Each structure stands twice: as structure tokens, then as C-alpha cells.
Amino acid sequence: MWYRDHSTGRYDKHAKDFERLFSLLPLKPGDHVLDAGCGTGVLVPLILERIGENGILYELDYAERMIAANRALHQAGGIRFIVADAESAPLDNDSCDAVICFSCFPHFHEKEKALSALLRILKPDGCFTVSHFDSSAGINRHHESCPAVMHDRLPDEGAMRALLQTAGLGIELFIDEPGFYSIIARKNRR
């Protein structure tokens, strides 16, 4: 429902936002990418386009129904579907070139634990991304209005920077503006 343009009926409401997000992500052919909290896989075609047939895309979500819908929509051979939460993702250490948290980070209830688990999977110097198509204030306002997610918050910039830096990430880009939120960070080398 978030990606459908109600005036046209097409699912391209955020086409320019996706274009902007993927212009910031340093994905390349052959990369292994974890799409954490993937839901039904809105990012799948955009990631596959960049990592090519030699890349691997891990679609991770704790909801079996989301993974089932994702699997039904996306049949490419380079996709691995995983039902698990971010805190217990069953992937090897240093196995992914990029970890993308698109529209899911507020829903990690133990953010430090989830971040630690995701960074375990990320290769040294790998790219870690948190992104939404609204500002942190807009996301938090929206969540406050919905009882099911009213406690799911996106930390303010200071808290988010501290969280990421403490976890061992070097922040390269931090955008928090109406309609677009994106953090691009690199895992520090050991």
C-alpha cells in the first residue's frame, strides 16, 4: 500500500526515492547482500539489477507469511529466503558486502543486539544502510498513531550516530529530511 500511486494504480509512487537510494548504495556485480526485514521484497529487483547473476541476495524476515509472499513474487536463482529475526540471522561471519535495513530499523526492539548481529555478518569495510521514505520525525509520528507499532521508534540523529559508532561503523552519509532518511556507513576494519 505504501508504494502504490493511488492516482495511477501503478506501484511506482516512490520511483524517484528508490532511484535516489540506489544511487547512494555502492552495490556492484557479484556482491552478497542481506536485505534485513525484507517483507515481501520491494527491494529485490533493484538489488538484483545491481549485483547481477553472480551475486547472492539474502531476503530475511521473521514473518513466515512475508517470506512466502516474497518467494512467490521473486523466482531468481540468486535469492536465498530466510525466516529469522535480525538478532539471530543464520549467516556466516563476514559473509555479506552490504546489509540493508529498509523501513525496518524502528521495529528492532533490541536495536543494539540486532545491530551487533547484522554487523557480525557484514564484511570489514562493508556497507551498512538504514533507509526510509520519510524523516525520522515523520516515521515516529506515524508509528505513534498506530497502536501495533506505537513503541517502535527511529532514534534521533545523536542517538543513532552514537549507536552506529559504538557498534563499529564509520558514518559516511546521514540524511534526515522530509520524505527521505538514509544512513550509509562502513564497518570498521579490524
Domains and CATH numbers, the chain: 28-122 (3.40.50.150), 134-190 (no CATH)
Q: In DSSP terms, which residues pair with 98 in a beta bridge?
A: 33, 127
Q: What are phi and psi of 51, to 5 degrees?
A: -90, -15
Q: Is the pLDDT of residue 1 over 60?
A: no
Q: With 70 as the cut, is the pLDDT of residue 54 above it?
A: yes
Report d(CA 105, CA 126) in Å as an integer: 18
- Collect all residues with Cβ–Cβ distance below 8 Å to 184 and sequence separation of at least 6: 24, 25, 127, 128, 129, 171, 172, 173
Q: Using pLDDT thresholds of 50, 70 and 90, give the confidence band for residue 109.
A: confident
Which pTM value belongs to this model? Answer: 0.92
What's the pLDDT tens digit per position in 130-181?
Answer: 999 999 988 988 888 888 888 888 999 999 999 999 999 999 999 999 999 9
Strand order in the sheet with 56-61: 79-83, 56-61, 32-36, 96-102, 122-132, 180-187, 169-177
Asked if the model's pLDDT at residue 127 lies above 80, the reply is yes
Residue, of 9 and 153, whose pLDDT is higher: 153
Straight-line distance from the first to the last Cα atom of the chain, in angstroms, rounded to the nearest whole number: 42
Could you identify the residue written with the cell 509520528?
141
**CB 51 within 8 Å of CB 31:** yes
CA distances from 173 to 48, 89, 140 (A): 23, 26, 21
- In this prediction, what percent of the chain has a pLDDT beyond 70? 93
Q: At residue 38, does pLDDT exceed 50?
A: yes
Identify the pLDDT of residue 5. 47
Residue 6 has pLDDT above 60, yes or no: no
